């Protein structure tokens, strides 16, 4: 059940009503029932058992940690809780590499969750959201191990299972910390008009990014990645840049919707994106892009597991590289993900090396800001091509051939054909699509510039609530009009709208 569908909006409205009409003691039960129903009617309903199992094992280990009388016993339960989550995640992500016969045997038995790829190889389907809820369980265990302030064993399994399965964040995050979210689930959550309206504004902004920008761009991007050999230089170059905007609007839009949905119930989730494409270094980019994952990797992998920068400069550079390799393998299995993570790590290694020698400033001032921001954006867009292309050979072809056959007439004819595939388009509709995408992408760029330079990173949705009534409603109606126009230009169907780039992790 994707966020940007009518069934989800009806489901959300019903859950909100039930949440506030039941007694306070029953509100977490309402959210838990809704979360399990949301997962049960998702793409892999049978895998709801692993959500419950992950929560139960982690919760039980946490209670054992609290009751342990010796450091050795405490450490044993911590390792069991963490090891179970890591083992479960690795099994589902890498089962086709480690146990290929198992997937093939299950496939021969017509097991519903054993899938066969185009080459005929079998693998067990990845449970929806396992990368997110596994990391949330790990935060609980690891925070208990570090005796982090606010990290205490949770006595209520209902509250803990809600923390693991909360439906706004289970598909796409943001990754939550137990010490931040569990107290919110236990608190009295009365209806707060300001928080509720801020949540609705966040959802509206998210729907605008997802439907009016990302889904519209996907209609011309996906055919190029599906058959890059049919396109020439300028078309491939435009695809690389547009894909970077698509992924940002798709993922940040989904994150905004998730945060907005949670706010309707009085729950505050971590922010996930903060104007990342105005970063002037890769260090800064990863402080602004997928922030919940970046912070998780920094705290629990770079510092907690590898030692951070406490063991000398050479070890620091190696730790940075290894952290991003792990990030790449978290995103997916295969050489392209490994290369993508390695490149991100190498960029950060180079920046840290130059900064340590006084030859590089992470946040330049004045005129140097714009060329540096453009360079970081382009380099990141090129690495994302490796992330998106079907094979490594396809990504190499796109990255190399974009500088050849630079014919403007070829670009115009190919772009016109790409739009026509999406719309069965008349020339008028092609022109309307171009104008519409320029308008909506321009709105996103303008909003990020305003937030970066004027608001200094403050929440745009909250700021919008302080503007004059006529201006607020003009913006609301404008975004709603763009969302409806996007649906109409997609022939009134949800084919593009229900897809989500990060939904398979």
Catalytic residue numbers, as ranges: 331
Distance CA 246, CA 221 (A): 9
Query: Could you tell me if 498 and 2 are in contact, meaning their C-beta atoms sit under 8 angstroms apart?
Result: yes
Task: Report the C-alpha gap between 235 and 418 in whole angstroms.
Answer: 10
DSSP-based three-state secondary structure for 124:
strand
SS3 123: strand
- DSSP character at residue 214: I
- List phi, psi (to 5°) of 62: -60, -45
Q: Which residues contact 69 (CB under 8 A, 6 or more apart)?
A: none
Residue 308 carries which DSSP code? T
Question: What token pair was written down for 363?
Answer: 């946040």
Distance, CA of 340 to CA of 363 (rounded, Å): 24
Q: State the CB neighbour count (10 A cutoff) for residue 445.
A: 13
Q: What is the CA radius of gyration of the chain?
A: 23
C-alpha dihedral, 307 to 310 to 312 to 318, nearest 10°: 30
Spell out the residues 6+ positions from residue 140 whose beta carbon is closer than 8 angstroms to its own.
58, 62, 81, 151, 154, 160, 163, 178
Which two three-digit tokens encode residue 261? 């949905």
Return d(Cα 313, Cα 303) in angstroms, integer. 14
Contact assessment for residue 491 and residue 160, using Cβ atoms and an 8 Å cutoff: no
Beta strands in 315-363 (DSSP E): none
3-state secondary structure of 206: helix
Q: What is the 3-state secondary structure (H, E, C) of 50-76?
A: HHHHHHHHHHHHHHHHHHCCCHHHHHH
């Amino acid at each position: 059940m994707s966020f940007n569908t009518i069934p989800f909006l009806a489901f959300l409205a019903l859950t909100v009503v039930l949440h506030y009409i039941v007694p306070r003691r029953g509100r977490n039960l309402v959210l838990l029932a809704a979360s399990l129903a949301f997962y049960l009617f998702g793409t892999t309903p049978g895998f709801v058992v692993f959500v419950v199992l992950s929560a139960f094992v982690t919760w039980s280990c946490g209670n054992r940690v609290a009751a342990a009388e010796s450091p050795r016993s405490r450490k044993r339960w911590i390792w069991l809780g963490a090891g179970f989550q890591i083992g479960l995640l690795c099994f589902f992500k890498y089962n086709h590499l480690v146990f290929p016969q198992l997937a093939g045997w299950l496939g021969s038995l017509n097991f519903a969750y054993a899938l066969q790829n185009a080459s005929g190889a079998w693998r067990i389907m990845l449970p929806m959201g396992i990368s997110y809820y596994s990391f949330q369980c790990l935060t609980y265990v690891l925070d208990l191990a570090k005796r982090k302030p606010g990290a205490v064993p949770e006595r209520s399994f209902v509250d803990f299972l809600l923390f693991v399965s909360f439906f706004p964040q289970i598909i796409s995050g943001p990754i939550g910390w137990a010490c931040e979210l569990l107290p919110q689930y236990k608190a009295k959550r009365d209806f707060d008009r300001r928080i509720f309206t801020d949540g609705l504004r966040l959802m509206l902004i998210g729907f605008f990014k997802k439907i009016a920008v990302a889904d519209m761009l996907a209609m011309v991007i996906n055919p190029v990645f599906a058959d890059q050999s049919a396109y020439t230089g300028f078309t491939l170059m435009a695809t690389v840049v547009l894909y970077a905007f698509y992924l940002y609007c798709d993922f940040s839009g989904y994150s905004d919707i998730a945060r907005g949905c949670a706010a309707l119930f009085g729950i505050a989730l971590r922010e996930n994106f903060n104007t990342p494409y105005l970063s002037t270094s890769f260090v800064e980019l990863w402080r602004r892009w997928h922030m919940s994952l970046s912070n998780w990797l920094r705290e629990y992998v770079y510092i907690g597991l590898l030692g951070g920068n406490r063991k000398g400069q050479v070890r620091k550079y190696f730790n940075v590289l290894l952290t991003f390799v792990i990030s790449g393998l978290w995103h997916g299995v295969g050489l392209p993900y490994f290369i993508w993570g390695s490149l991100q790590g190498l960029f950060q290694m180079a920046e840290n090396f130059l900064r340590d020698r006084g030859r590089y400033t992470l946040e330049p001032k004045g005129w140097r800001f714009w060329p540096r921001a453009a360079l970081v954006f382009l380099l990141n867009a090129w690495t994302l091509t490796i992330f998106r292309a079907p094979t490594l050979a396809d990504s190499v072809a796109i990255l190399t051939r974009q500088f050849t056959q630079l014919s403007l007439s070829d670009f115009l004819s190919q772009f016109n054909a790409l739009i026509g595939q999406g719309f069965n388009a008349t020339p008028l509709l092609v022109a309307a699509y171009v104008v519409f995408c320029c308008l909506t992408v321009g709105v996103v760029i303008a909003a990020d510039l305003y937030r970066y330079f004027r608001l200094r990173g403050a929440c745009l949705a909250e700021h919008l609530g302080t503007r004059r009534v006529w201006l607020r409603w003009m913006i609301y109606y404008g975004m709603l009009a763009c969302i409806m126009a996007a649906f109409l230009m997609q022939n009134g169907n949800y084919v593009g709208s229900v897809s989500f780039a990060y939904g398979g992790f």
